[in-house]
Structure 1
Amino acid sequence: MVPPLVLDIDGTLTTPDHRVDRRVFEILPNWEAPVVFATGKAFPYPVALAHFLGLPETVIAENGGVIHADGVTEFAGDPDACWAVAEEFIERGGDLGWGGRTTVNRWRETEVAVSMDADEELLREIAADHGQTVVDTGYAYHVKSPDVSKGSAFETLCEEYRYDPDRFVAIGDSENDVSTFEAAGESYAVANADSVAREAADDVLSEGHMDGTASVLERLLTEAGPDR
């Protein structure tokens, strides 16, 4: 049998120009073990990806702030505190960014995403004053509660649905994937991963983005054999 997977999306299942790689739609729909999408994106995004792949909508969104499985949704963290950070940031001259795009945070339930062009030092200062933290995913600064992470959400999901986390293979590219790497049995950082993720992973792949992820998935399929 192939092992269950816990997969980041951006930088891991995408091309360098941020598109979902077509191989996702070739490999994952027939994966004969649970697949968990664990992302920093807002809740609807991983649900939509699972839906269009024909997979169960088993997702961790917003860096662990949202867990959805078997039709049940759970939330963690303090969104009011996160928005208090954002409001003070704006009052003190900061800009959430996104060029007027409201969809970045429109459906976000538990955190606030801020553009990488923002004043990081000011954002982190205000977040600390409010007892919140900032995670740099390489795509955005995420203001969130410090006790929320992909890894803690993954552990909760495994406990509630009787998954063995040691059987899971985790693949990711950013510091927000480190906690998942620590919780899963086997972990890989794609070649484009940041230094924190590379240090935490069991193995750093020679190829980046979906090229690296596909190399792992294809090997796992080969090892499982024709009778998987």
Structure 2
Amino acid sequence: MVPPLVADIDGTLTRPDKSIDPRVFDPLRAWEAPVVIATGKSFPYPVGLCEFLGIPLNVVAENGGCVYVEDADEVAYNGDPEGAAAVAAAYREEGYDLGWGAVDAVNRWRETELAVSREQPLAPLERIAADHGMHVVDTGYAYHVKSPDVDKATGLESAARFLDRDPTEFVAVGDSENDAAVFGLAGRSYAVANADDAARSVADVVTEASFADGFLEALESVRADGRL
């Protein structure tokens, strides 16, 4: 029996050009235990990914801010949307931009946090976030402004509760600072070789391969062990 799985998207299920590697489709579909897709992206992205993969809609979005498990038919909101909105307003008032253009598809459907382009100034964002009791995490793809007591581990706790599982039953695979918390909660964790220092430092295993190749390596290792 394989354990339940919690998997990041960007840098983990993707190729270096940020596109999803299609080789992950069949292994995710074939996984015999629950699969939770956990990401910093806004709620519709992991839901859409699960839909197109043909797997149950078990998602942790916005770094733990939004959690949905299809069978439970319930959304858990763990974030602070008012704090995120206040930071966005103050950042703009000081003359800075979020960096995503007028339409801002990155934040358009975001419900509990704020994402700012990594091309924008970080120091004033961190200062403003702290003034509003918020925290900034660098995922390697964006600066995420979120509640300091919410992270992917918080999200996994919510998802595991909906699934009637213990979080320590899960195997986690990821690549970034925002995966480090869930690595500390899951029973076993794999950082793909392209992972940042924060993720690598707390992972049980760092794969030899990067990106989706590393993800597939992790799944093969879990199947070979047959246990956590």
Same fold by TM-score greater than 0.5: yes
1:161 to 2:166 alignment:
no
The DSSP-based 3-state class of the residue aligned with 2:107 is helix
The DSSP-based 3-state class of the residue aligned with 2:13 is coil
Unmatched tracts of structure 2, length 5 or more: none
The DSSP-based 3-state class of the residue aligned with 1:124 is helix
| Aligned residue runs from structure 1 range 81-120, under 5 A | 81-120=83-122
Give per-residue Cα distances to partners, 1:112-137, cap 9 Å, x unaligned. Answer: 10000011000000000010011100
The DSSP-based 3-state class of the residue aligned with 1:15 is coil
Residue of structure 2 equivalent to 1:33: 33
Deviating 4+ runs (over 6 angstroms): none
Give per-residue Cα distances to partners, 1:83-141, cap 9 Å, x unaligned. Answer: 11011101101110024442110100001100000110000000000100111000000
Residue of structure 1 equivalent to 2:130: 128
Residue of structure 2 equivalent to 1:150: 152
| Aligned residue runs from structure 1 range 198-217, under 5 A | 198-217=200-219
Unmatched tracts of structure 1, length 5 or more: none
Query: 2: distance between equivalents of 1:167 and 1:14?
Result: 25
Query: 1: distance between equivalents of 2:136 and 2:36?
Result: 24
1:58 to 2:58 alignment:
yes
Query: 2: distance between equivalents of 1:32 and 1:223?
Result: 15
Code of the residue aligned with 2:27 in structure 1: it is I
Code of the residue aligned with 2:52 in structure 1: it is F
| Aligned residue runs from structure 1 range 181-196, under 5 A | 181-196=183-198
Query: 1: distance between equivalents of 2:102 and 2:189?
Result: 37
Deviation at 1:81, TM superposition (A): 1.1
Query: 1: distance between equivalents of 2:80 and 2:174?
Result: 25
Query: 2: distance between equivalents of 1:6 and 1:133?
Result: 23
| Aligned residue runs from structure 1 range 5-44, under 5 A | 5-44=5-44
Give per-residue Cα distances to partners, 1:145-182, cap 9 Å, x unaligned. Answer: 11111101211222343212222110011111011101
Code of the residue aligned with 1:150 in structure 2: it is K
Residue of structure 2 equivalent to 1:76: 78
Instruction: Report the number of matched residues.
Output: 224
- TM-score normalized by the length of structure 2: 0.94
Residue of structure 2 equivalent to 1:178: 180
Residues 66, 79 of structure 2: 8 Å contact kept: no
- TM-score normalized by the length of structure 1: 0.94
Code of the residue aligned with 1:129 in structure 2: it is D
Identical amino acids, percent of aligned pairs: 56
Code of the residue aligned with 2:106 in structure 1: it is V
Query: 1: distance between equivalents of 2:42 and 2:77?
Result: 12
The DSSP-based 3-state class of the residue aligned with 2:144 is strand
RMSD: 1.2
Code of the residue aligned with 2:9 in structure 1: it is I
